[in-house]
């Protein structure tokens, strides 16, 4: 019997390494989950602003080619965010409180307000959901679980939301406890993966959140 089990484990490890992890991983207790989220929130409360490079990968289920964008992220909590793509198509999205601005090389900058622009309000909500460091609030809208000691699994409770997002996997940097990787998986198998580079902590020039060009 032991020989059969060992053979099956070898086959699973060779063919489906991710599946083997799911099969053998022990569930994490509610207390461990609460402690993990508390540690993240406590660390985030000490980091008022940071910047970092990022890579956005768009994986489409029906195509082998991955669409890759490179960019730079800057955040000044609680409500200032700069999301800038630098390659292959430069563009900048700024949130400064309830006001914002979006710009690219082809058209003039467009200003907006989150109170009157529902589309940009939704974009802001999604970005802040994964990046503002307050994950306890997820409990009302999402089922939370730990995949391992540094990875949070987020599954929508709302049926309407679940039509667009099957689950989100957030892996945290073990030093800063800020997101190192965010995977947003859609029901049809498409996925957006965000990979965040080395975090630079410290005060940022306020003009980063007001001007499309770098100050």
Q: CA torsion, points 199, 123, 147, 20, in degrees to nearest 10?
A: -110
Dihedral angle at the C-alpha atoms of 107, 113, 117, 121, nearest 10 degrees? 110
Q: Convert the pLDDT of each residue in 174-194 to its tens digit.
A: 888 889 999 999 998 899 999
- What confidence tens digit (pLDDT) does each residue in 10-54 have? 333 333 333 333 333 445 577 888 898 899 889 888 988 999 999
- How do residues 44-95 score in pLDDT, each as one tens digit? 889 889 999 999 999 988 788 899 999 999 999 989 999 999 998 899 999 9
Question: Would you give the distance in Å from CA 192 to the centre of its chain?
Answer: 9
- Residue 83 β-bridge partners: 73, 93
Class for the domain spanning 2-209: mainly beta
């Amino acid at each position: 019997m032991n020989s059969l089990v060992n053979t099956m484990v070898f086959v699973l490890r060779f063919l489906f390494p991710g599946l083997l992890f799911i099969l053998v991983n022990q569930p994490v207790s509610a207390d461990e989950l609460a402690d993990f989220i508390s540690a993240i929130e406590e660390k985030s409360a000490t980091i008022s602003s940071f910047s970092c490079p990022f890579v956005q990968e768009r994986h489409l289920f029906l195509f082998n080619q991955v669409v890759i964008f490179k960019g730079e992220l800057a955040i000044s909590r609680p409500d200032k965010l700069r999301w800038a793509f630098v390659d292959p198509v430069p563009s900048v999205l700024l949130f400064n409180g309830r006001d914002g601005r979006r710009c690219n090389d082809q058209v003039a900058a467009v200003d907006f307000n989150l109170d009157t622009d529902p589309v940009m309000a939704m974009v802001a909500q999604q970005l802040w959901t994964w990046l503002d460091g307050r994950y306890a609030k997820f409990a009302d809208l999402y089922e939370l679980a730990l995949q391992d000691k540094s990875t949070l699994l987020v599954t929508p409770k709302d049926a309407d939301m679940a039509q667009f997002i099957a689950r989100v996997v957030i892996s945290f940097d073990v030093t800063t406890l800020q997101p190192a990787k965010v995977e947003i998986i859609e029901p049809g198998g498409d996925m957006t993966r965000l990979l965040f580079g080395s975090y630079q902590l410290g005060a940022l020039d306020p003009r980063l959140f007001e001007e499309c060009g770098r100050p």
